[in-house]
């Protein structure tokens, strides 16, 4: 007896056709084969869109609440300008007249520029008053009857002072002195152990041992009168001019110097009893050339 076997694929196709014979009952299968009506699918899609919209609106409102807006009548924040005060006038004791500086020499400016080098080691040979006078004059000496100085100063404010720590200068007691450009004199400030105090303040080796150390200090209040927006910047530029003058003068005298800034400004200023409104820009040791030892 012959049996007829039905094709399973054909049977499935026929059942599907029967199922979708009417639009009213026809649906779409979801992933996994679960049938779902078209109306239900549209409802789910709309619900998802609505939920996303609501969540987006809530998120935007939350961000708005976290933004602090200035009051309608609030004024914009104003930048407070930095203020500067003039340092107090120093009371000096004895004034020491310095020898007149020379305005001609054996070395040309070109040669001094060519051979200039920082020299950090100094011999034990004492510095003479004439040598000290020459180096101080090169920094801030007066060059004419109008008061112009050896180093240029923007609008002639001259914000710098030169304090001199003396350890080994012929005819001069150890201590701290203030250079007066107008009279080419040194005013004794009475700090006889200035060299020891300077060494104890943690300065570099060259400033601990040099026979002379010049503390170049700036009073920003002087520059602020003519340059209220950038007194410090203008003042620092001038310090560079002074430092280079000292370098070239020392080279022309075949002596040694180096400008240094690696120290605690406040600590050194306190050790030397300087006014808090004076800022040490450079410490400049000066003396005769010493013999540098090569590390083994």
| Residue range 84-105, pLDDT digits in tens | 999 999 899 999 999 999 999 9
Query: What's the confidence (pLDDT) of residue 249?
Result: 98
Note the pLDDT of residue 48: 76
Per-residue model confidence as pLDDT tens digits over 193-225: 999 999 999 999 999 999 999 999 999 999 999
Instruction: Report DSSP letters for the chain, one per residue.
Output: ---PPPPHHHHHHHHHHHHTSSTTT-EEEPTTS-EEEHHHHHHHHHHHHHHHHHHHHHHHHHHHHH--PPPTTPPPPPPPPP---PPPPP----EEEPPPPPS--SS-HHHHHHH------B-SPPBPHHHHHHHHHHHH-B-STT--BSS--GGG---EEEEEEESSBTTB-SEEEEEETTTTEEEE---TTHHHHHHHTT--HHHHH-SEEEEEEE-HHHHHHH-SS-HHHHHHHHHHHHHHHHHHHHHHTT-EE--B--S-HHHHHHHTT--TT-EEEEEEEEESB-PPPPP-
pLDDT at position 142 over 60: yes
| Low-confidence winner among 63-72, 181-190, 222-231, 286-295 (lowest mean pLDDT) | 63-72
| pLDDT at residue 16, rounded to an integer | 45
CA-to-CA distance for 261 and 246, rounded, in angstroms?
Answer: 15
As a whole number of angstroms, the distance between CA 231 and CA 261 comes to 19
Domains of the chain: 8-63 (no CATH), 95-287 (3.40.109.10)
- Of the pLDDT bands very low, low, confident and very high (cuts 50, 70, 90), residue 78 is low
- For residue 25, pLDDT over 90 is answered with no
- pLDDT score at 100: 97
pLDDT (0 to 100) of residue 84: 92
The pLDDT, as a whole number, for residue 2 is 47
Q: CB-hemisphere CA count at 13 Å for 125?
A: 13
Q: How far apart are CA 162 and CA 21, in angstroms?
A: 109
Q: Which residue has the tokens 């076997």?
A: 5
pLDDT digits (tens, 9 = 90+) for 245-284: 999 999 999 999 999 999 999 999 999 999 999 999 999 9
Question: Per this entry, what is the length of the chain?
Answer: 296
Tokens 């007194």 belong to residue:
231
Band of pLDDT at residue 53, cut at 50, 70 and 90: confident
0.75 exceeded by the pTM?
no
The pLDDT assigned to 59 comes to: 65
Higher-scoring residue by pLDDT: 275, 20: 275
- Per-residue pLDDT band at 294 (split at 50, 70, 90): low
């Amino acid at each position: 007896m012959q049996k007829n076997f039905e094709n399973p694929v054909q049977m499935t196709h026929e059942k599907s056709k029967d199922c979708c014979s009417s639009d009213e009952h026809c649906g779409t299968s979801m992933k996994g084969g679960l049938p779902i009506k078209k109306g239900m699918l549209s409802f789910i899609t709309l619900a998802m869109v609505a939920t996303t919209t609501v969540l987006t609106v809530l998120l935007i409102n939350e961000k708005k609440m976290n933004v602090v807006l200035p009051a309608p009548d609030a004024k914009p924040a104003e930048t407070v300008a930095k203020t500067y005060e003039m340092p107090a006038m120093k009371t000096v004791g004895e004034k020491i007249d310095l020898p007149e500086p020379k305005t001609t020499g054996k070395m040309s400016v070109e040669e001094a520029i060519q051979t200039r080098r920082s020299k950090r080691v100094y011999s034990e040979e004492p510095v003479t008053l004439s040598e000290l006078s020459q180096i101080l004059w090169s920094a801030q000496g007066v060059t004419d009857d109008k008061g112009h100085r050896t180093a240029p100063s923007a609008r002639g404010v001259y914000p710098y002072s030169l304090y001199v720590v003396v350890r080994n200068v012929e005819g001069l007691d150890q201590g701290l002195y203030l250079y007066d450009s107008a009279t080419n004199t040194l005013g004794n400030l009475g700090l006889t152990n200035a060299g020891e105090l300077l060494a104890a303040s943690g300065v570099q080796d060259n400033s601990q041992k040099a026979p002379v150390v010049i503390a170049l200090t700036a009073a920003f209040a002087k520059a602020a009168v003519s340059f209220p927006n950038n007194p410090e910047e203008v003042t620092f530029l001038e310090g560079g001019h002074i430092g280079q003058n000292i370098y070239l003068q020392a080279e022309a005298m075949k002596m040694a110097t180096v400008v240094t800034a690696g120290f605690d400004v406040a600590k050194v200023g306190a050790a030397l009893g300087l006014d808090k409104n004076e800022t040490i820009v450079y410490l400049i040791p000066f003396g005769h050339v010493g013999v540098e030892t090569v590390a083994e």
